[in-house]
Amino acid sequence: MTILKEGMSGPEVERLQDALKRHGFDPGRVDGQFGPGTEAAILAFQKSEGLRADGVAGPKTQQALGLEVAAGETDAPFDLAEITVGKVSKMFPSTPLDHIKDNLPHVLKALDEVGLADKDMVLMALATIRAETASFQPISEFRSKFNTSPGGHPFNLYDSRKDLGNRGAPDGDSYKGRGFIQLTGRANYQTHGAAIGIGDQLVSHPELANDPAIAARLLASFLKSKESRIRAALHEGDLAQARRLVNGGSHGLAEFSAAFKIGDALF
């Protein structure tokens, strides 16, 4: 079976467009030309069906659309076994190898558990770690002019941040950035603690966010909560937007982009 993608044309593309239209995802004119309209319709269909949303009609997508697929043919899965300590170390050139060896299994397991074990999202997670905690260890946020005022108590500028769900001192310090993704704010500790199945424990004991296994699950949970927008940004090659969806800005963008591009070439 031919894998159909933007720029292709012919009868197979026409059959694909017709199938999309029959399933309620209008690609525009059924003309056998795989253009932006067809790509957008495929992306919407893939998201609806829980398929990898990449805008490419591989065997799984075509099968879901009711198109004939040869026996045994399927989209090639991404093999997590490719993500070795040696290869990941190339994405983290200044990181002690032991840190990667100790913590990489936690991260890969957590991503796999929430359905983010494909290449794009694994690279997103690893590049995020490079930008947030280049040591490949869960750490606590450092004091800086952005979180602590001159002469103020630690993280006082976070204390009353409504967007973080904080309720005044000592919330700023209690719910400062921690973990692989620097989870910040009472609201995030509550939401993602509950999402990984530990209820309110993260609110009561925020230091748990630096436990490697928990930190990995929090990273996966946070990325999962923004999955569709992250995938869309990565599909467009917009690494700045993918980074912004996690960090809220461009801090660490150079490190993030470098790690992502190295990983993209390696795997």
pLDDT tens digits, 78-118 = 789 999 999 999 999 999 999 999 999 999 999 999 999 99
pLDDT band at 3 (very low <50, low <70, confident <90, very high): confident
- The three state secondary structure string of the chain is CCCECCCCECHHHHHHHHHHHHCCCCCCCCCCECCHHHHHHHHHHHHHHCCCCCCCECHHHHHHCCCCCCCCCCCCCCCHHHCCHHHHHHHCCCCCHHHHHHHHHHHHHHHHHCCCCCHHHHHHHHHHHHHHCCCCCCEECCCCCCCCCCCCCCCHHHCCCHHHCCCCCCHHHHCCCEECCCECCHHHHHHHHHHCCCCCHHHHCHHHHHCHHHHHHHHHHHHHHCHHHHHHHHHCCCHHHHHHHHHCCCCCHHHHHHHHHHHHHHC
Predicted TM-score (pTM) of the model is 0.74
Question: How would CATH label the architecture of 11-64?
Answer: Orthogonal Bundle (1.10)
CA distance 60 to 56: 10
Cite the residue boundaries of each domain of the chain with CATH code 1.10.101.10.
11-64
Residue 146 carries which side chain, given as an amino acid letter? F
The whole-number pLDDT of residue 74 equals 46
Structural tokens at position 76: 């090639």
For residue 59, whether the previous peptide bond is cis, meaning omega lies within 30 degrees of 0, is no
Burial 200-226, CB ≥16 within 10 A → b, else e: eebbeebebbbbbbbbbbbbbbbbbbe
pLDDT band at 193 (very low <50, low <70, confident <90, very high): very high
CA distance 51 to 81: 21
pLDDT band at 232 (very low <50, low <70, confident <90, very high): confident
Assess whether pLDDT exceeds 60 at residue 70: no
Closest CA to 83 of 116, 53, 50: 116
